[in-house]
Amino acid sequence: MSDGKCQSDVIEPLCAKKFKKDDQNENGVNESQLQLRDFILSKILNNNTNRKIVCALGNFKDKSGVALVILEKNAFKEEELNEKGYFSEDSELRTFFQNDIYGNYVCFPNSSINGVKTTIIYPATEKHIAKYSQQEVHIILETPQLYQKYTLSHLAKEQFNLQWVYNILEGKSEQDRVVYDNKCEKEGFVLLPDLKWDGLTKETLYLLAIVRQREIKSLRDLNEGHLPLLKRVRDEGKKAILDKYNVPGSQLRIYLHYQPSFYHLHIHFTYLKHEAPGIYAEKSHLLDAVIDNIEMMNDYYQKATLPFTIREMDTLFNVYETNGYIKRIKENIELIDK
């Protein structure tokens, strides 16, 4: 659920007068064409329980072609938090349980503040369906042996082309975007805004440090020989970001992904309050923790069992599945199709 045309807009349910009047009566009720009561669900493509967004695939009665219905709960508005909104006579409170000073309830508020953002894409194409579908995901515990036997040989075959990385390092591409450049071949790196960031908004700050050494594939290759490089990335990266964006190092999340999305060592810098994608414990390793681990044990990353997440659609999943380390979710189809 990211950007793009398919995101629903924030809708102010109390302001029906703002609504477009075509195809609806004076209350803003849609009288023609699409009605949710005519929607026949065939599959839930994705249910984001964190953001409270669900994407449903189906069709409308007596209409050809498939449709996507995307529902999203609205964020709370300040003007709803008063004696006309949630704290009104109309709010019904049911007790779930009480323990000491903590009480859990369910509140059924006035229906005027109960609108749900709704987006309908009709007719929807295969590409819309792919965009809104969620994959089953699993954790694999990668021992050093499994890394050698399966992951390493797999990534040698499947690696994405790294030419775009070399273009940046060689000054052939994106040079106007570079924030900091240390040209030392052994300890140098290029720092530039990640593609997901606009380069301006502090709240979503996201930069990438790409090291100049080319033979470091990932976390797995790191040892004490790399400590000077890693500390340089940390310290010079922090300073460059403080100088340019006025964000102190204590408010930066500096980390490596495992597995990374490309196998040339790179380090992520994001604003600590920003819930950037992939910052979860099963995927991200703080640079300070990496440095500390290597200082405690030179070959930590050659000895450790590293968990990583994998989607059933990924080819590496097949390798581990074929060898009996992971099982595909069969029930998925039933659950979704019920």
The catalytic residue positions are: 266
d(CA 323, CA 294): 31
Question: Is 264 annotated as contributing to ligand binding?
Answer: yes
How many other CB atoms sit within 10 Å of the CB of residue 293?
16
Question: Is 68 annotated as contributing to ligand binding?
Answer: no
How many other CB atoms sit within 10 Å of the CB of residue 24?
14
Question: Is 218 annotated as contributing to ligand binding?
Answer: no
CA dihedral 117, 122, 128, 130 (to 10 degrees): 90
We find the least distance from the C-beta atom of residue 215 to a second copy, in angstroms, to be 23
Question: Is 259 annotated as contributing to ligand binding?
Answer: yes
Show the tokens assigned to 133: 């579908």
Nearer residue to a second copy within complex by CB, 171 or 184: 171
Question: Is 168 annotated as contributing to ligand binding?
Answer: no
We find the least distance from the C-beta atom of residue 313 to a second copy, in angstroms, to be 14
100 torsion bin: left (phi>0), alpha (psi -120 to 50), beta (else): left
Nearer residue to a second copy within complex by CB, 239 or 327: 327
We find the least distance from the C-beta atom of residue 295 to a second copy, in angstroms, to be 9
We find the least distance from the C-beta atom of residue 275 to a second copy, in angstroms, to be 4
CA distances from 46 to 130, 131, 135, 272 (A): 10, 10, 8, 27
Nearer residue to a second copy within complex by CB, 138 or 232: 138
Q: Are 267 and 254 in contact (CB under 8 A)?
A: yes
Nearer residue to a second copy within complex by CB, 215 or 338: 338
d(CA 286, CA 250): 13
Estimate to the nearest angstrom the gap between the alpha carbon of 294 and the chain centroid: 29
Q: Are 189 and 232 in contact (CB under 8 A)?
A: yes
8: helix, coil or strand?
coil
Binding residues for substrate: 164, 174, 194, 196, 257-268
Binding residues: 164, 174, 194, 196, 257-268
